[in-house]
Structure 1
């Protein structure tokens, strides 16, 4: 997924976050962030945006100390100013990312093609997930486009849990969770992942994306040839143009083969639903689950992202 798409997703999620915060009110509990109200969540995300912006703006090569971080973020505003404070930080972060040098060098904490790509991607998903949290405090959560969902699953599994955080997924009895997105055929990146959990942590791999099946069209109508058939050439067909991200995803084809590895549990569904489910923001009861569902319970218990 291109950096520009991540920045667009960050901008849209931040606007929706503000709408949800204003509808909910600051004292409303947020069920998917236990012990937090809307107030704490707005403070948290506004803090994160200012923290991230500092690395980009200052080209900071090392991690901020606690004192430097507090100075960069500044004091928390009064309740009456809290949403406006969030908006200011969110807008500043979006503008910084949009105007940043692609060759920007600064500190970042997950594998990425570049620091700019990392910060755009991380803040897009940070904001999108917390937008869902706020929406869920008063009603249903909105989904995401298939490309953002696929990208977010990949960041969670291959970014967070393919690192030292993999030990958080350790379990006494080895088991395997296989995850398959059933839509987003025109989206780049993997659509399937395998999570092997074992006593020392987890090993996570991307599975090869299936090769699209092309439906043959009608035979072309012959035309008189002015060039001998033995030397005539046909133009190379152009690749299909991906559907715009706001269009409805194509209807997924039914699975034509078993997962590439034997799985204790297999989870299938639209990328948007898998994304929110793997981030523990929605249940999996309406998704396609095969095998031992206790593996999903184990995931929900152990797959929690904390800074420390």
Structure 2
């Protein structure tokens, strides 16, 4: 996906997040994040947006701490989140292609990294906000969802800090039935190693398959495992569920 496509996705997801949050109210429970109310989700999201904006707009070339969560609620919090989201989108749209700043995942460029990361950060949290509504999380564009599965498997869990490990080598296959994408996640005592578009001929110990957006939200632990089709060793799917959470630190 292009940088502009990721920025468009960020823009759309942020607006949908705010719409859902306003409809639910800041005291509503966020079903996908046990223990959180909508206000907690909004405070976290705007903190991340403003943190990311600082790297893009100010060009920090080393890690820079976040500014903390705002002590706001209600309409004031919604307005603050809206302002932070708009500034992030604007910073990315106006950033130079040769932007130099700190990143934490492999990417073609720092600008490509921040556009992609914040598109998925916000899309996942859009689903969180929608989980506070009776209808629950809405669909995710299949191409964006497949891209997000790729980022999660190959980048997020390609790092040494991933806790998704097995005592013995095992293969977890993820197959998007609508986009045709396939990932082979090689599990071992080390960090996972994921191949995209493997030929799929090697027997997998466990396979998760379904539409890309269902895989996306399931692998991000926003939908239950039964939202997708599972075959093989259910223990590997549970291992993912229990150990794959990405935490803010």
- TM-score scaled by length of structure 2: 0.94
For residues 123 and 156 of structure 1, the distance between their equivalents in structure 2, rounded to whole angstroms, comes to: 13
Alignment correspondent of 1:63: 63
Q: Which runs of 5+ in 2 are unaligned?
A: none
Q: Does 1:124 align with 2:119?
A: yes
Q: Does 1:196 align with 2:186?
A: yes
Does the 8 Å contact 1:33/1:133 carry over to 2?
yes
What is the DSSP-based 3-state SS (H/G/I as helix, E as strand, rest coil) of the residue aligned with 1:98? Answer: helix
Does the 8 Å contact 2:174/2:208 carry over to 1?
yes
For residues 233 and 248 of structure 2, the distance between their equivalents in structure 1, rounded to whole angstroms, comes to: 30
For the aligned residue pairs, the C-alpha RMSD in angstroms reads 1.7
What is the DSSP-based 3-state SS (H/G/I as helix, E as strand, rest coil) of the residue aligned with 1:84? Answer: helix
Alignment correspondent of 2:242: 301
Alignment correspondent of 1:50: 50
Q: 1:153 aligns with which of 149, 157, 164?
A: 149
User: What per-residue deviation string (whole Å, max 9, x for no partner) do you get for residues 81-116 of structure 1?
Assistant: 000000001011111111111111111110000000
- TM-score scaled by length of structure 1: 0.77
- What is the aligned residue count? 248
Higher helix share: 2
For residues 227 and 58 of structure 2, the distance between their equivalents in structure 1, rounded to whole angstroms, comes to: 46
More off after superposition, 280-289 vs 148-157: 280-289
Task: Note closer, same or farther for the CA distance 1:274–1:74 as it changes in structure 2 (3 Å cut).
Answer: closer
Does the 8 Å contact 1:171/1:201 carry over to 2?
no
For residues 50 and 125 of structure 1, the distance between their equivalents in structure 2, rounded to whole angstroms, comes to: 15
Q: Does 1:291 align with 2:232?
A: yes
Does the 8 Å contact 1:207/1:260 carry over to 2?
no
What is the DSSP-based 3-state SS (H/G/I as helix, E as strand, rest coil) of the residue aligned with 1:195? Answer: strand
Alignment correspondent of 2:94: 99
Q: Which runs of 5+ in 1 are unaligned?
A: 186-190, 210-258
Q: Does 1:269 align with 2:237?
A: no
Alignment correspondent of 2:35: 35
